[in-house]
């Protein structure tokens, strides 16, 4: 099994840069939750198969607060070679 550095050597630089940009963008949306909400999100995600209806509703609310539609739009704009200001 290869090391992490070995894997990164196989990824072209521009793809690596795009991955880093997406990670930063995801982090911005994740930080829209306060510390208690982030902790609860992690707790909920650790046991997805045993979630109650209340847990699923809570997860839905937490994800909505991170604005997944805005994240998807921003991610698409970052990834698209069209429509960028140069």
HEC string of 62-79 equals HHHHCCHHHHHHHHHHHH
Q: Establish if 86 belongs to a structural domain.
A: no
Q: Which of 9-13, 23-27, 32-36, 67-71 has the highest mean pLDDT?
A: 32-36
Its pTM stands at 0.67
Q: Establish if 44 belongs to a structural domain.
A: yes
Domain total for the chain?
Answer: 1
Q: Establish if 19 belongs to a structural domain.
A: no
- In which domain, by residue range, is 45 found? 34-79
Q: Establish if 68 belongs to a structural domain.
A: yes
Q: What is the pLDDT of residues 35-86, one digit of tens each?
A: 999 999 999 999 999 999 999 999 999 999 988 888 888 888 776 666 555 4
């Amino acid at each position: 099994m290869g090391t992490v550095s070995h894997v990164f050597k196989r990824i072209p630089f521009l793809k690596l840069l795009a991955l880093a940009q997406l990670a930063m963008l995801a982090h911005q949306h994740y930080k829209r939750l306060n510390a208690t909400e982030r902790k609860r999100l992690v707790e909920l995600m650790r046991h997805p198969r045993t979630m109650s209806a209340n847990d699923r509703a809570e997860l839905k609310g937490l994800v909505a607060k991170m604005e997944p539609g805005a994240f998807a739009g921003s991610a698409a704009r970052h990834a698209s070679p069209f429509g960028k200001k140069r």
